[in-house]
Amino acid sequence: MKIFVHQFNAELGAVDRNLKRIEGLLAELVPGETDLVLFPEMCDTGYAMDVIVERAVTWDENHLAGIKREAARLGATVVVGVSERTGNDVFNTAAVIDAAGKLACKYRKTHLVSIAPIHEDRYLTPGGALGFFAAGGTNFGVMTCYELRFPEVARTLTLRGARVLLVPTAWPAVRVEHLTSLLRARAIENQVFVVCAGRVGTDAGTTFSGNSMIIDPNGTVLARGSAGTEEWISADIDLAAVDASRERIAALDERRPRLYDL
């Protein structure tokens, strides 16, 4: 499976221009040579809470139409972090567009950042279900940025059958070492591939870390982006590595859930 990840730098508040740029970036990819493409968190609005609340749009406006067309042209799944307005609620959502150009899944971030100065929890509404979808015969889980700090999310998705965890982020550069450690830990402990799209640039005084990564079930980093540059990274992943890792170290089978008070 060929995975592409883009380290996007959103223009704050410029929803139409940002989505048009993503459409143009997808146009750079070649049909038949791409299976899945991942973009970072909140690519349409940028990542500043007041701007998100002001600029988030309802999906009735079909503002992802261009990206859907590109997904269909590529015959690839495209996952992009965007805003979503529903009535008085605004969600931090990962849109999953399938190889036919249809919205296959939308994952609304369930664990919102409560850390100053970001405070998603004061502006956004949390989702009520975890992110899980199937594509190309493979099960995927989606968890957004801050949710890397909740191992229960990754473990639950793994137990439901996810073999690849997709992580769109806008991770602060000041805590980049946390990002690196958490991504590798989630891969190793669940024996899954982890694919992270890291935002670059600066919004509202927060500089983002980049450092997109594609990590195998043993914690080996197959591809890694830079700290501050818009760029593509990619890797071919062999899903048989999930089974091979679990046969070598049977930690998932050796769990004793009756002992765990979670």
Q: 113-168 pLDDT, tens per residue? A: 999 889 999 999 999 999 999 999 999 999 999 999 999 999 999 999 999 999 99
Joined tokens for residue 42: 């909140």
Residue 3, φ and ψ in degrees, nearest 5: -110, 130
Residue 44 has a pLDDT of 97
Q: Would you call 109 a catalytic residue per the annotation? A: yes
Rounded mean pLDDT, 33-41? 98
CA atoms within 13 A on the CB side of 56: 23
CA-based nearest residue to 82, from 54, 49, 57, 111: 57
CA-based nearest residue to 220, from 254, 198, 255, 244: 244
Residue 61 has a pLDDT of 74
Kind of pairing, strands 221-224 and 193-198? unpaired
> Number of structural domains, the chain?
1
> What CATH number should be reported for the domain holding residue 126?
3.60.110.10
Residue 135, φ and ψ in degrees, nearest 5: -155, 135
Q: Would you call 41 a catalytic residue per the annotation? A: yes
In the chain, % of residues over pLDDT 70: 100
CA-based nearest residue to 75, from 57, 103, 100: 100
Least reliable range by pLDDT among 60-64, 81-85, 131-135, 213-217:
60-64
Residue 4 confidence class, pLDDT cut points 50, 70, 90: very high
**CA–CA separation, 143 vs 130, rounded Å?**
8
94 pLDDT above the threshold of 80: yes
Residue 10 confidence class, pLDDT cut points 50, 70, 90: very high
Rounded mean pLDDT, 79-100? 97
Out of 84, 109, 120, 196, the active site residue is 109
Rounded mean pLDDT, 180-198? 98
19 pLDDT above the threshold of 90: yes
Residue 174 has a pLDDT of 97
5 pLDDT above the threshold of 90: yes
Average pLDDT of every residue of the chain? 97
Q: Would you call 54 a catalytic residue per the annotation? A: no
Out of 120, 145, 147, 196, the active site residue is 145
Out of 41, 70, 120, 147, the active site residue is 41
Residue 157 has a pLDDT of 98
Structural domain harbouring 173: 2-259
